[in-house]
Structure 1
């Protein structure tokens, strides 16, 4: 795994981890939202187990807040070492297990230069501690929840396009008739999200070539949305990233189903400002202003989607099968 860039905010670092996207997709699950509203009452023991372990993820203000309260206990091995070079900032040095007479489970061991002033040492330690907890290398062989790694590169690279496609569709559903995105279809969504830029029509393309490219872009968008649905189904039962078929089981009593339908009809699930809230949850330090194209203000959700699309993603650019 690549060495983290310490100038990034902690949520930027987490945005390149599978754990970040695990929670992003879990928050897209209507059934998981409903079990949180039902305080764990559900007929499907698989969903109940995930709720018991992850808690009500909708009550937290940010992903980082949830991670520090719940996440590290679910995904970290008790033995954690920072995936950084041994020579750290300000001359600090990371001590590995091989440097110690006895391993120190759950501890971050550093060697601090004697000549380093206390203010610099304090600043460096706080920053490194934050980085270690948020984006350290997690030896997760005995963690309660495992990221599915080996032979899973296709699902890895489908994660961000699938999420962005799902989110854009929700934004379109909530848009007003006067919004520019209100009439967008698969082609426009694919083009905006740059799902397959190699198929964007170019000046000089023949009519047939242009139509074939547009068809490919529509297909790509449909596939990304289908992948999002599969990832959500799997994350509901504690499996990620996976597109395997999930066995269908009854989850709600007749009364619960009626209450769920009523809650959805009343707009309690994925409200009009849903993606604005999701972006704030995932990337709270990102302040996104209005975006103008040819002097026309664009829908706010497009600016937020662009911001999320452009987040640091070193993990997705590697085929490494090591833990994150």
Structure 2
């Protein structure tokens, strides 16, 4: 039954969705549709393989953007806002503790920083993006709580400590994820920005991607197009919505918002490609979650479908170049946070 459902989903997914990155990539497909074998891909914009991290901190070098300081300051502001947004006493004690346990557990805060940086990119004030930034992190945290549960990926470790359902029990974890999702829209209920987050969180986004990921486990064949469908929805859509929401509340023009959208799509897929590589190359201690889970669950991953870790890294390098290209034409100084954020995602080690 499970395999029949999986194959049905794959056929449906391939028929109903086109790959949104096809228009962004000018190079040929990684896999030959006739044979499924890897073939050399021409990548004119990138000739490197992501291995060693570049220097992201300017230090005392004049004119060099200090990304670490920027990331830390924006993440601290979001953490403070989240702390205020999920106060003790607004829910039954154990439920409130469970919500705070996960949403305040740290993490890279990529999605809220995307929202803030996109807002600033188009000339807006960072404070204007705080509500949608918090909402994006709540939605993301909700998806992580549910993703770790026994009915899904059954993972006991998240962000270096026990997963929510291990710490609080499955019923409380389920409700905490639901409550955080609802709370997200309480904070983002400011017009069109909230609509984009809603689409990214539901059946057109994270839920669809998670379903596809689950249904494809153990399938005899998963195509690259299907894998990208899964990760466009599971990962990229929420990053895209975070950045677009920030650009909207910052007063960006339609053209600016669209360029931010394309940038964030590339970054979202880049995040997942790197995640797949780290699942193979990292340890549980480095990652803060169980390493090797994708192989154990027989999931389709980029290293698996592209023919190895080096090929997946090369694809990541291409996505990084495309993301950065979308920032050309914006004010260079305001674009620096998003440029460095893309590099941070590309070269991260956890």
Tell me the TM-score range normalised by the shorter chain. Answer: under 0.3
Of structures 1 and 2, the larger Rg is shown by 1
What's the TM-score once normalised by structure 1's chain length?
0.26
For CA contacts below 8 A with separation 6 or more, give which structure has more relative contact order: 1
What's the TM-score once normalised by structure 2's chain length?
0.25
Judging by fraction of residues, say which structure has more helix.
2
